[in-house]
Structure 1
Amino acid sequence: MEETEAEEQRQFSHRQRLKAAVHYTVGCLCNEVALDKQVQFNKQTVAAIAEVTFRQCENFAKDLEMFARHAKRSTVTTEDVKLLARRSNSLLKYITEKNEEIAQLNLERKAKKKRKPEDESSHSGEPDAEVVDSES
């Protein structure tokens, strides 16, 4: 019983810290907009925007979990995120572009890793397997 209460308290504390972080970030964004557009946001407005943002993030997380589960996966993928963003063309385009950039960077890193052992073996005159063995 005490373990359950301790876990609930831990989850509540974690949730409160997340909410505070969202509130802080929303406040910073509102300050930027206020400076840029010469408008003011009162504290209640910032708090309301933060609360709506937090609830929307919770909904997004639940939807992403359900998309992955529907696909019989335990991991959320970028395809799930694209599905979530499907109603916003600009957001979907942004996510797709960023995903392609990340995929390209990953391919370049893999290519560099493959070339590195080849370069080392060509300098030493040893086969790749021996180079790998000597590095470990």
Structure 2
Amino acid sequence: MDQTEEISLEERLKSALWLAIGKIVDEETIRLGSNATPQFIAALTELVWAQIETVSQDLESFAKHAGRSTVTVADVMLLARRNEGLESILKAFIEQQREGED
């Protein structure tokens, strides 16, 4: 993938993320009876994008350290180990997926 295609893909992904976050924020502001500015949604999108970049780099490092080119569920669980809430949600999701395979 050349640099132009990479930038285009990143822009499309950020746009999709902005749209998804905007939808969630809209639903929550309606539920709470409050408002959110477009600047808030843009800032939240940038924050989430930065977090996604950090998490993806960490996951790639875990896989590379283990001598793999593929990120596994174990890598994700290793990353989530210090966030008890996220870890419990992921464990429940994994269990649900395993039950669905049976």
State the TM-score bracket (shorter-chain normalisation): over 0.9
What code does the residue aligned with 2:10 have?
Answer: R
User: Which residue of 2 is the match for residue 14 of structure 1?
Assistant: 9
Structure 1: stretches of 5+ with no match in the other structure: 1-5, 109-136
User: Which residue of 2 is the match for residue 49 of structure 1?
Assistant: 44
Q: TM-score if structure 1 supplies the norm length?
A: 0.71
Q: How many residues align?
A: 102
Q: Which has the higher contact order (CA 8 A, sep 6+)?
A: 2
SS in 2 for 1:40: coil
Bigger CA radius of gyration: 1
What code does the residue aligned with 2:12 have?
Answer: R
User: Which residue of 2 is the match for residue 97 of structure 1?
Assistant: 92
Question: 1:100, CA displacement in angstroms?
Answer: 1.6
| Structure 2 residue corresponding to 1:33, chosen from 16, 28, 35 | 28
Deviations 1:18-61 (A, max 9, x none): 01001111100100110111111101110000011111111111
Q: TM-score if structure 2 supplies the norm length?
A: 0.93
Question: Structure 1: which 4+ aligned runs deviate by more than 2 Å?
Answer: none
